[in-house]
Structure 1
Amino acid sequence: MEKNEMYDVTIIGGGPIGLFTAFYSGMRELKTKVIEYLPQVGGKVTYFYPEKVLRDIGALPAISGSDLIKQLKEQASTFSPEMVFGERVDDLERAEDGTYVLTSHNGQRHFTKTVILAIGHGTLGVKKLPIVGANHFEGKNLHYAVDRVENFRGKHVLISGGGDSAIDWANRLEPIAEKVTIVHRREAFSGHESSITEMNNSETHVKCSCYVSDLIGKDHIEKVVLTHVDTGEKEEVEIDALLVNHGFDLDLGGIQNWGMTTSDGKVVTDAKMETSIPGIFAAGDIVTYPHRLTLIAGGLAEGPKALNSAKAFLDPDAEAMAMYSTHHKEFVEA
């Protein structure tokens, strides 16, 4: 085994949860490394929701995805964790001394005493529109993410989806678009109640029990064909842009072969964020346990819990949690 620098904790994933966990790891004075598959931090927030307004994080009435990541990145850098980009961790090996060796897809090896998984849903992959030839319109007026809200100003935007993302984008785009239509194959939406109420009270055109079954156009989508689930009746709708929010494909890559207990593509943990493998912890959307809060705010609490468990794994006599930041020397002496 080649010689390499040993870390107390390695956080796999540089999204919101991984960044905040890195900050808290510094609070606990642990030597920390973050490994992110993408070329920058932020995870799916950076790539898919940079302009989405988030309203369910304490003390932040409203913040865009890009601004949230900017602040989390600044916070995470407080204690100068090692940051590695462009590596997907696949393999895990336990050394004779109980430490772990992580091997990335490119052969790079990382040495660590504990691991915290904060990889969200795994490698990012949106669920594409299941229509032959749909990829021809990608990069034109078929979208799976919103880079700039202004690109939709004055347009008829049709949104396909029935979850939080679809509803949130309907509410965000309705004031600036000429028209917003949202299509959902079920009778009821699955987003937050207040967001659904906001949508229903707006000028958004809501079409339930139907789905996008075909796309009409040459260079750009000119019309979509909607098929009604119950009757099979078809309807053509002229649009300027199609936004598809069908969720993400779960792909844990090589991590699913580590031997951890999983359920429905997620890692099972206890209340301490411990997985079934000693020294391996998890937080955020990769995790499942009874009554989990599926919000960023919930994940931001799970990260420190996982880190505290890692600290206890390394030092059973350590305090259960870090001192409050207002008492930490890094900030008192600042």
Structure 2
Amino acid sequence: MSQTASSHDVLTTDVVIVGAGPVGLFAVFECGMLKMRCHVVDALDMVGGQCTALYPEKPIYDIPAHPSIEAADLIDRLAEQAAPFAPTYHLGQQVEKLTRQDSGRWLVETSIGTKIDAQAVIIAAGSGAFGPNRPPLDGLEAYEGKSVFYMVRRRQDFAGKKVVIAGGGDSAVDWALSLADVAERVYVVHRRPKFRAAPESVARMDALVRDGRIEMVVPYQLSGLDGENGQLTAVRVATLDGEEKALPADALLAFFGLSMNLGPIADWGLDLERSHISVAQPGCATNVPGVFAIGDIATYPGKLKLILCGFAEAAQAAHSIRPLVYPGEALHFEYSTSKGVPGAA
């Protein structure tokens, strides 16, 4: 894996990819298959985006040919897939400025002074700068990072513990399924019986509820925390009618989604829709010529926020960019099964 040091010299490449999450990494592969060089910029000091920073051990179930794969393993495989094309990674820095040059190419400038000249830019920034939506509970700060968490880095940290999981989306359901194997007790708190998660995952959770391995606490919402010195002893929950009860707990996992902040991206003249970048399909082009957006940050009619759709968007963007890098040169498209991987041993 290649990474440049801070430099005030202008570097040159074909494509700059903003975001080193799974979709950004796959864009390196797709561009490489079309013989385009990539530099990748990410504010984190590691590749993988949310998969690495928030839930490296979270199982992902909708990757073709992988009935289940942990997020960190998926990132390792994607980085390995991109490696033959020798991408240059600029980690621990944020793209702050995007300037159209007289040549029509883009000058990308980062927070530590790195400057990159590129024909095109792919924004694969996921949810942008992200942070957890925190439940409005008195005294919450005293427990955060000690017994209240918004992510799971190591599943074994919760082995033998009584865990309360709050939320109704994929993260809540997936971690309930995973922690049921190691925790002493798992409670799932949600304000209504319907979950916003993959139906198959919900069905598996319901089966564990019937088996007594997960206790469903519905319709309740969080109302308070009991404990001392940052260590929980119970999580208090209440119905909308005010009926309360206390769940014995060693840990609370609160999965209420992420707050989204586009940061400098919001100042680049892009068409935005509710903190997402509007793109045209097919091709994932933004309203700014030479700038494309893929993955969770991109939106268009019929958009599905699935990782596999982000992978397809990476391929679409790469094919849209190739005529900019190789103007007038016809592409004789071949499947990877017949052409192999260019430059790979």
For the criterion TM > 0.5, the same-fold answer is: yes
Give 3-state SS (helix, strand or coil) of 2:238's partner.
strand
Say yes or no: does 1:243 pair with 2:257. Answer: no
Give 3-state SS (helix, strand or coil) of 2:83's partner.
helix
Which 5+ residue runs of structure 1 have no aligned equivalent? none
Give me the CA root mean square deviation.
Answer: 1.8
Is the CA contact 2:85–2:343 (under 8 Å) kept in the aligned structure 1? no
What corresponds to 1:50 in structure 2?
56
Match of 1:209 among 199, 211, 219: 219
- Give the 3 Å change call, closer, same or farther, for CA 329–197 of structure 1 in structure 2: closer
Structure 1 distance, partners of 2:308, 2:118, is 27
Pick which of 133-142 and 217-226 moved more. 133-142
What corresponds to 1:288 in structure 2?
299
Structure 2 distance, partners of 1:42, 1:117, is 15
Is the CA contact 1:308–1:321 (under 8 Å) kept in the aligned structure 2? no
Match of 2:262 among 246, 252, 257: 252
What corresponds to 1:13 in structure 2?
19
Is the CA contact 2:25–2:79 (under 8 Å) kept in the aligned structure 1? yes
Shift of 1:267: 0.5
What corresponds to 1:27 in structure 2?
33
Shift of 1:171: 0.9
Structure 2 distance, partners of 1:96, 1:250, is 33
What corresponds to 1:264 in structure 2?
274
Shift of 1:322: 4.8
Is the CA contact 1:102–1:110 (under 8 Å) kept in the aligned structure 2? yes
1:219-234 equivalent positions in 2, closer than 5 A: 219=229, 220-229=231-240, 231-234=241-244
What corresponds to 2:136 in structure 1?
130
1:63-212 equivalent positions in 2, closer than 5 A: 63-203=69-209, 204-212=214-222
Specify the code of the residue in structure 1 equivalent to 2:179: L
Structure 2 distance, partners of 1:320, 1:137, is 57
Specify the code of the residue in structure 2 equivalent to 1:313: L
Deviation sequence 1:85-138 (CA, Å, 0-9, x none): 011112211111111112222333222110000010012312223223212112
Which 5+ residue runs of structure 2 have no aligned equivalent? 1-7
- Give the 3 Å change call, closer, same or farther, for CA 107–3 of structure 1 in structure 2: closer
Give 3-state SS (helix, strand or coil) of 1:71's partner.
helix
Is the CA contact 1:213–1:227 (under 8 Å) kept in the aligned structure 2? yes
Is the CA contact 1:6–1:113 (under 8 Å) kept in the aligned structure 2? no
Match of 1:59 among 55, 62, 65: 65
- Give the 3 Å change call, closer, same or farther, for CA 299–91 of structure 1 in structure 2: same
Match of 1:307 among 315, 318, 321: 318
Is the CA contact 1:308–1:320 (under 8 Å) kept in the aligned structure 2? no
Shift of 1:58: 0.7
Say yes or no: does 1:326 pair with 2:323. Answer: no
Structure 1 distance, partners of 2:216, 2:333, is 48
Deviation sequence 1:192-241 (CA, Å, 0-9, x none): 11111111111321223321121111120111111212x02222221111
Shift of 1:317: 3.4
Shift of 1:26: 1.2
- Give the 3 Å change call, closer, same or farther, for CA 77–234 of structure 1 in structure 2: same
Q: TM-score, normalised by structure 2?
A: 0.91
Give 3-state SS (helix, strand or coil) of 1:222's partner.
strand
Identity %: 36
Is the CA contact 1:27–1:322 (under 8 Å) kept in the aligned structure 2? no
Residues matched between the structures, number: 332
Give 3-state SS (helix, strand or coil) of 1:301's partner.
helix
Shift of 1:268: 0.7
